[in-house]
Structure 1
Amino acid sequence: MTTRYAGIAWTGTGYRVEVLDGAGRRVTEPRGWGADRVAELIAWLRELGREHPLAAVFDSTNGLLDGPMTAAGLEVYRADPWLLPPRPRFGSVPAHQLAEQARNTPGALARVTAEGGTLTGRADEYFDGVRRSEPIQAALTAAGRCFEHGRRDTPQIALTFDDGPDPVHTRQILRTLDRYGVRATFFCVGHHVAALPDEVRRIVAAGHEIGNHSWSHPFLPDLTPEELREQLDRTGDAVARVTGEAPVWFRPPYGALTPGVLATLEGHPTTMTLWDVDSRDWARPGPERIAATVLEAAGPGSVVLLHEGAGDRGQTVRALPSIIEGLLERGLEPVTVGELSASADRTGTGRRPAAEPH
């Protein structure tokens, strides 16, 4: 049986999908899905894949679908910018062009794995950008424009959750945080904020902090300065419409940096926020391993990277009670990034984050 190619484009409101067969004919009429209907989109693609092999294709400005799609067993590919026509300032390459690129040059696409995520095949490029950015990042840290960890002599720690809000896992995480009476920071993507504003309101009403995590979770080095600013500003505006206040903190997806990215961020009003403890929950190693990873690495002033959205985060939910209990037993109080930074030693650069595929 011949392979079908599902091009998946993101827009300001959701996703557009176009499916072509090996001869370039439409298999179905193009369809649209809201950002709150990813589970339905995946179920639809899986059903199509029962009849013929199906390859789902998106570009590097879409970092929100690889997790749930690979977890669902779909065959997922990334088409890189040098293969594609120019993008609009806001949005990905159109779905039809993504499907056509996959059909015409399937061997040029990167097969996305659960372990590598959207950065599959680009780890060397990622680490090279991080290395070249270190002097600039150190200067931003010294100037208070970049935050990686708090003071090492203060018994506080920041739990942070990326990629939400999520229609299921956000509420579960909030219930656990409330049970222990601790606060956290949620780095939300604009795509999900616009689709699930009530979940954002729940986060804020519970006393937690909202951060900016871009609109579509792109690989930032692939964006122009204008596209990067658009991602940040639209997300900030979406959060402000829901909560009345734009986020102060911005976390770059994957922690991906280059000198060019930092030059753009330096002129933006948000403060870049990284981490010094990666739970690696995106790899889904099991709740016990997630909790052990955090508790083995965390100490006073740590910023812990966890996830609430863009994939199956059930293991994170199940690991959270053990994480909180272990921190409290050590006398470490979970607080928001804002609270942790208030007493931070901004002269230290901390440790570099590891590659974060989700």
Structure 2
Amino acid sequence: MRDEHDADSADINSGDFDSLASQWADVTGLSDGGTDDMASEDRHDASADITASARRLPHSRPKPLLIAFLSVFAVLALIAGVTIARGVADFRAQAHAEALRSCQSAQSKYATTVTTYTATMKAARELGKTPSDDVANTKLLDMLNDLAGTNDSSVIGLDLNALNESQCSGSAGIDDLNTLAGSFNDAITPMFKRTGEVQYAADNVKASIEDQKSVNVRTRLSYLVSTAQTVLDVSAGKVDESLRTALSGAIDAATALQKTNNLTAESTKGVMADLQSATDAVRDAMPLDCRLSKCVALTFDDGPDKTNTPKVLDALNKAGVPATFFVQGQNITGSNVDLLKRTAAEGHEIGSMSWSHTQLHALSAGDLKTSLDKTSDAIENVTGSRPTLLRAPDGAWSDTVLNQAKADGMSLVLWNIDSQDWKSRDANATVKQVVDTTLSGSIVDLHDTYGSTARAIPQIVKRLQDQGYHFVTVSKLLEGGARPGEIYYSAGDSDAYAGGVLADR
């Protein structure tokens, strides 16, 4: 007789065993709709074995356990997938943040470098405009301009304007951020190097400017002392002695300062101001002296000319300035005699240009003497004075000419300013030529045989007077320094002007 256990066991029919076998096959992977017939037969055999074994096992319910197992497995798989995905996302976020930080750091360093670089280059280019006369060593100035003048992009190798506009944006990708950071870093090193080179060159130029300032100060002081001494010398008996005493003291103080080292504009300022003031006081108290003031002598050749000389005299008379006329002896005839008298009567100086417009050096000694003597006689007969100044036609002369001039008591006066009125025959061109080239002590060569020259006189006089020039005769310009038998092109050729024309105002 069977007990309940046996009864329950007996109740497990073949269908239950088939179902359990099927579940086991599902767990073990033995059940697969895609397997071939052999796999199916294997399942059938395995199912039969399981069925036989199941008849010997206690009754159990595996289905809930399997479900739990599968659920845990699925949850774990999901957690693993989420963890991996989150890890990948976090890694990319960290990489992007690092790229952004690197880019921003590079941009910050670039911004600091380019600011210094730009300021240095701007200052260097401005310094490079310094006049060469203000630099002791002009090669240093050239070197600075070479360095500072080179195009930025060609030196750096990058477009700085484009980099200046670039920004490290959080919306940019990692590769773009890394590329931009690389560009910033690539620009920093060459900019830093060039900044150092340009700054070094600029410092050298600044030092050279200071050196030149010292030279300029010493030169200026020396010039003032020389000018003051000349003013003191020529003013004896012409001004109040108290003015000369003050000037002498100022000269002594400046001379003592000259012997010191490291002269600067500041250290010499007071002494030079006192010296200039004392010099001006004496000079202003004296009558006009062309050794001390800006003077120019207008001279006219080839007259008298009955047509144009009167026009020239009218222009000079209206302007109120004297001039020196070098006349040809052959022209002192007829109505020109009265014209020459008028010229002398109006305060103009009369010099000789020999008898005719023949180059004197081409004449024999006898013919030269005859030409000069005849002209001097003609001038003396009209004006009552024998000429002491001779101008050689075309400026051509020789030792024979100088010797004959000396024998006749005449100095040979040429010119250092050619008006070229004979060439242009144009009043405006004549004005420009004279005004643009005249210096203190100049002798200007003009001709009273052209109407254009007469028309140019008013503007010549006005524009040079506006520059502080005084118009004088040649004899006044040379202040008695002209000696017979010597040649003069300007006031500076005279021994009385060994120190140069001492006019600075």
Give the TM-score normalised by the residue count of structure 1. 0.52
Match of 1:336 among 458, 461, 473: 473
2-side partners of 1:329 and 1:305: how far apart? 21
Query: Cα distance, 1:267 vs. partner?
Result: 2.5
Alignment correspondent of 2:389? 249
Contact residue 311 and residue 451 of structure 2 kept, 8 A: no
CA 241–285 in structure 1, closer or farther in 2 if over 3 Å, else same = closer
Secondary structure of the structure 2 residue equivalent to 1:194: coil
Greater RCO, 1 or 2 (C-alpha within 8 Å, sep 6+): 1
Contact residue 294 and residue 323 of structure 1 kept, 8 A: yes
Match of 1:182 among 314, 321, 324: 321
- Structure 2 counterpart of 1:171, one-letter code: P
Alignment correspondent of 1:192? 331
Alignment correspondent of 1:325? 462
1-side partners of 2:472 and 2:290: how far apart? 13
Match of 1:170 among 305, 309, 322: 309
1:154 aligns with 2:288: no
2-side partners of 1:302 and 1:341: how far apart? 10
Alignment correspondent of 1:117? none
Contact residue 221 and residue 257 of structure 1 kept, 8 A: yes
Query: Cα distance, 1:229 vs. partner?
Result: 1.1
1:209 aligns with 2:346: no
Map residues 96-111 of structure 1 onto 2, 5 A cutoff: none
1:173-205 Cα offsets, whole Å, 9 max, x none, are 111111111100111110112341010011011
Query: Cα distance, 1:221 vs. partner?
Result: 2.0
Match of 2:427 among 281, 287, 290: 287
Map residues 123-138 of structure 1 onto 2, 5 A cutoff: none
2-side partners of 1:201 and 1:153: how far apart? 32
Alignment correspondent of 2:358? 218
Query: Cα distance, 1:337 vs. partner?
Result: 0.8
2-side partners of 1:152 and 1:301: how far apart? 8
1:145-200 Cα offsets, whole Å, 9 max, x none, are xxxxx967531110000100110111111111111111001111101123410100
Q: Could you tell me which runs of 5 or more consecutive residues in structure 1 were left unpaired when the two chains were aligned.
A: 1-149, 350-358
Contact residue 281 and residue 290 of structure 1 kept, 8 A: yes
Contact residue 332 and residue 378 of structure 2 kept, 8 A: yes
1:289-332 Cα offsets, whole Å, 9 max, x none, are 111110111011111000013xxx01111111111111111110
CA 278–153 in structure 1, closer or farther in 2 if over 3 Å, else same = farther
Query: Cα distance, 1:240 vs. partner?
Result: 0.8
1:231 aligns with 2:375: no
Contact residue 211 and residue 248 of structure 1 kept, 8 A: yes
1-side partners of 2:425 and 2:349: how far apart? 27
CA 285–243 in structure 1, closer or farther in 2 if over 3 Å, else same = closer
1:81-131 Cα offsets, whole Å, 9 max, x none, are xxxxxxxxxxxxxxxxxxxxxxxxxxxxxxxxxxxxxxxxxxxxxxxxxxx
Secondary structure of the structure 2 residue equivalent to 1:160: strand
CA 202–155 in structure 1, closer or farther in 2 if over 3 Å, else same = same
- Structure 2 counterpart of 1:236, one-letter code: S
Which structure dedicates a bigger proportion of its chain to strand? 1
- Structure 1 counterpart of 2:356, one-letter code: S
Which structure has the bigger radius of gyration? 2
Secondary structure of the structure 1 residue equivalent to 2:306: coil
2-side partners of 1:333 and 1:292: how far apart? 18
CA 322–247 in structure 1, closer or farther in 2 if over 3 Å, else same = same
1-side partners of 2:379 and 2:401: how far apart? 22
Query: Cα distance, 1:285 vs. partner?
Result: 4.4
2-side partners of 1:168 and 1:260: how far apart? 35
Q: Which runs of 4+ in 1 moved over 2 A?
A: 150-154, 258-268
Contact residue 183 and residue 208 of structure 1 kept, 8 A: yes
Alignment correspondent of 1:38? none
The count of aligned residue pairs is 198
2-side partners of 1:265 and 1:335: how far apart? 23
Secondary structure of the structure 1 residue equivalent to 2:358: coil
Match of 2:448 among 308, 323, 328: 308
Secondary structure of the structure 2 residue equivalent to 1:331: coil
Query: Cα distance, 1:260 vs. partner?
Result: 3.1
Map residues 42-53 of structure 1 onto 2, 5 A cutoff: none
Query: Cα distance, 1:266 vs. partner?
Result: 3.3
1-side partners of 2:385 and 2:406: how far apart? 21
Give the TM-score normalised by the residue count of structure 2. 0.38
1-side partners of 2:298 and 2:454: how far apart? 13
Q: Could you tell me which runs of 5 or more consecutive residues in structure 2 were left unpaired when the two chains were aligned.
A: 1-288, 481-490, 499-505
2-side partners of 1:234 and 1:260: how far apart? 18
Which structure dedicates a bigger proportion of its chain to helix? 2
Contact residue 152 and residue 300 of structure 1 kept, 8 A: no
CA 152–286 in structure 1, closer or farther in 2 if over 3 Å, else same = farther
Contact residue 214 and residue 252 of structure 1 kept, 8 A: yes
1:260 aligns with 2:403: no
CA 274–151 in structure 1, closer or farther in 2 if over 3 Å, else same = farther
